[in-house]
Structure 1
Amino acid sequence: MKEVVLITGANGLIAKELAKKISNEYDVRFLTRKKRQANEYEWDLRKGTIDEAAFENVSHIIHLAGANISEKRWTAERKKELISSRVDSATLLRNTLRKREIKLKSFISASGINFYGTNTTEKIYSENDPPGHDFLSEVVVLWECAADHFKEQNLAERVVKIRTAVVLSEKEGALKKMLPPIQYGIGSALGTGNQYMAWIHIEDICSIYDFALKNHALHGAYNAVSPQHATNADLTKKIAEVLHKPLFMPNVPTFVLKMLFGELANAILEGSRASSQKIQNTGFQFRFPDLKNALSDLLKIQ
């Protein structure tokens, strides 16, 4: 029999693409707010309810649930939601495992490269570095603590935390938002454009989760970020180059972004580099370590 993998965050990009990748080897189930197909099970964080049938014979949980960081302005209410969607969801999973006396082979949790703080420096962060001191760092620290409780409370043999960079996909996310202005010849970098933008191809991030499932020696935190570093200006220029479009507009001024996005603008205007050496040392190989090749693949331009 196939091992059962239960995935949260069913409607997210990574969940959908990862399920396609692993469905031949695993029995994949999803936790979702609204059941649409046989392998989906409902849960409701506000009510604290969950369909316990999802946990029958479960071996692994991949916890991808979490409200989109950049979707809305960070009001006080939105900040609570960003934390709750990650932390309270993990608590509900733990309580259900404890109730049903289940011990997982692995609990693999999404995390964020923003663990290290939202600031532009020349430092290249590794998994040994401490967390930053801003709101996004706080979110990620709480997120990872919620994951670590699965091991501490003997509910999982191991916990893996995937500190994810900006995922590049033509289907949704940052790349999809950046494409239209560049395609119409009005694309430009944001702010100074010098802020680093840690990135990873959608296929590589899914491969890291697949790799983490199969390799039981993996535990703890891993930076899921391409080995090739890029700034916001680099990414903008590379997209224009791949699309064969001119890039002549001035950068979007910092004050405009702050006016539009409020505190969220800091996450757009600042960014550091992070090392992928730890995951590579385990034997993982990136298929798309080069930005131009990654963009050419996603945009299907040779």
Structure 2
Amino acid sequence: MGYGHQITPDEIEQFGEDGIPEAAPTLDQFKEQIDSYEKLYLEMEQVEPVVTFDTWFRLDCKPFKAALLNTIKRWSLLFKQYLIDHVTNSLQGLADFITVTDAGLLNQVQEGDYQGLVTMMAHLMAVKERTEATNTMFEPLKQTIELLKTYDVEMAEEIHLQLQELPEKWRNTVKLGIQAKQQVAPLQANEVANVRRSIASFELRQHEYREAFRKLLVFRYDCSTPYEILDSTHLAIHAMETELAKISASAALFEVQIPDFKQLKMCRKEVRLAKVGDRCGVVCLF
């Protein structure tokens, strides 16, 4: 279901460890597949359950025919149920999202309330990330419901009600997001400045650490305590990586561009290489 077609060995070899990118099947593909099972079911129904060969050999296929028809119907229902679940889960997921997000966007963030600001920015980011998909989801869902009707599958009244009400509720959520963004704009600007200062400070410290790192005795052949130095270096780099993760999270939340911090990544890479080189040396001794 996740790829829209049967995976071939060539595709598996082509994408390798990266994995084959998912591509959901289209509604036309679902219709084609369901129609093929419906047609096959009708054809199998016409098959005579009892056949007589040469006037004396009587073959009773009733159990086989019943099992075959049941299998065909189950495959048809599998695709129909997938569409039913897709419509139901999409609408319910949006309804739950709107309920939680509206409650969050209506909160007033006071100056100095950092956690409140972070929560508000998370809601605003969630609305932004969901906007494109939500704006285009309603028409395909209506088409899916219409397709299911052709197979005598009726959705619950609650689904039809959600399909009528949710577009307006979603537009209201977007409006609340715009109002909330305007309300927290001054607080956001202050926090953006703080994040940029944190980035600049970390940038300077990573360059300073890189210079100290390159002078470590562990990279000399006559180092007498390589394991102790590697352990302490790992802990120092890990602490900086943890701090960087927090800065990156804040930067993403407040939409601040963050540099690549290549110096820190080089330090981590060289520590790993030093450990790998040591292991290779131990293996060679044996």
Task: Specify which structure has the higher proportion of helix.
Answer: 2
Normalization by structure 1: what TM-score?
A: 0.22
Which is bigger in relative contact order (C-alpha 8 A, separation at least 6)?
Answer: 1
Greater C-alpha Rg: 2
